[in-house]
Structures are given as C-alpha cells and as structure tokens.
Amino acid sequence: DTGVSQDPRHKITKRGQNVTFRCDPISEHNRLYWYRQTLGQGPEFLTYFQNEAQLEKSRLLSDRFSAERPKGSFSTLEIQRTEQGDSAMYLCASSLLRGVRDTQYFGPGTRLTVL
Amino acid sequence: GQSLEQPSEVTAVEGAIVQINCTYQTSGFYGLSWYQQHDGGAPTFLSYNALDGLEETGRFSSFLSRSDSYGYLLLQELQMKDSASYFCAPVTGGGNKLTFGTGTQLKVEL
C-alpha cells in the first residue's frame, strides 16, 4: 500500500507526558499537512510543510506543539506536557503540488487519549 | 471572518439522488474540495472545483458558483455504503490548506 501511513494508530497517555506521532507521506509528495479532529467536528488545520520547510502554523498550535520534517520525507508531531484538551484524532495528509493545484490525501490518523 | 454552512444531517433512500449544499465565506479562496469520511475512518478526497460549473466523477458530481460563494455535492444512485459524513472544504491561502466545517451526515436507508 503506498498511501499515507501514521504511527501509532492509538496512543493513551497521562496528562503531563510528552507524545510523538509519525507520518509517512505518499512517496514524492512534496507537501505534508497536519490536522486535528475532535468528535463531531471536521479536521482543523495545524501546520504544513513544503519539502522540509514549515511554511505555516495555525494559531491553534500552542508552544507545546512542534512539528518537523527533517529530510522532506516523513514528519513528526510532538506534543509536550499533554493536557486533556489535546485528546483528538491527529491526521496527516500529503499532496504533490503541481502549479497551484494539489489534492490532499489523508492517512488513517493517530487517536490520542490523555487521561 | 470565515464561515462555512452545510446541513448537519440528510437522510435518503437507496437508489435516490441527494444534494448537499455548502455556502462559504472566506478570504484567499482558491477552490472548493469535497471529502467523505466514514465513522472511524480518514477523510477521502471526492472532488475539487476551482472554476464555476459542474465536475462529474462517476456517481458523484460537484458544482461551484464563486460569485455566490456556493457549491453542492450531488450523489446519484445512492448505496448503503454512501452513509458517511461529507465535508465541503474551501481551499485557501498559499498553502492550499483546507478549512472544514462540521460536515453533513448522510444516512442512506433501504
């Protein structure tokens, strides 16, 4: 399967702990996006990369959140000092920008539960 | 400011046609995407309209009117497997980021 993959699929942690999620995009996709989705809501944009450069971060992304895409391939999203409000599905999407158009393909997500 | 409106729920019978409307207000608008999401699943891309008019992809069609800030998704020959949430998502900004609302939950009944 050559789709977007995310690891882990589920993560349960205690409040105050740090967690890290990984996203492997579709090969050769130059853009990678992170979204967060809570129950009954649509995904909310968090941040995106073009190759290894992080080009935009949402105001939703507090200082406790950091994302990297060191070699322009996989990406990690780290949440420090987790809070119960961080419980959500974290979705990664990738796309290949051609001109001004790209289509985002989503991974299966990592479901985070903070106790 | 930004706003996005879709009906919260739509119910239809198998074999029927259903239209899900979407009105939006946003800056830096490039186009309108539609995604399908089954419970517990990831959003799946359905369609994208950059220009006014109708785009057809199999049983699904999507329409956009930029002047009216309005679009719709048309699903024909409904099947039970079409029961899912459907999101219209304006594409905005240099990053082509998607803005999702709360979506429309479609229930297909026998």
The percentage of chain A sitting over the pLDDT mark of 90, rounded to a whole number, equals 84
Contact A110, A39 (CB under 8 A): no
Omega before A8 cis (within 30°)? Answer: yes
Contact B53, B68 (CB under 8 A): no
| Test the B interface: residue of A32, A89, A100, A104 with most B CBs within 10 Å | A104
Return per-residue pLDDT of chain B as tens, 110 residues.
Answer: 688 999 999 999 999 999 999 999 988 888 999 999 999 899 999 999 999 999 998 999 999 999 999 999 999 999 999 999 999 999 887 778 888 989 999 999 99
User: A43, B100: Cβ pair inside 8 Å?
Assistant: yes
Cα A3 to Cα A7, A51, A70, A82, distances in angstroms: 13, 18, 20, 29
Phi-psi region of B77 (alpha: psi -120 to 50; beta: other; left: phi over 0): left
Contact B28, B82 (CB under 8 A): no
User: A105, B45: Cβ pair inside 8 Å?
Assistant: yes
What confidence tens digit (pLDDT) does each residue in A87-109 have?
Answer: 999 999 999 987 767 789 999 99
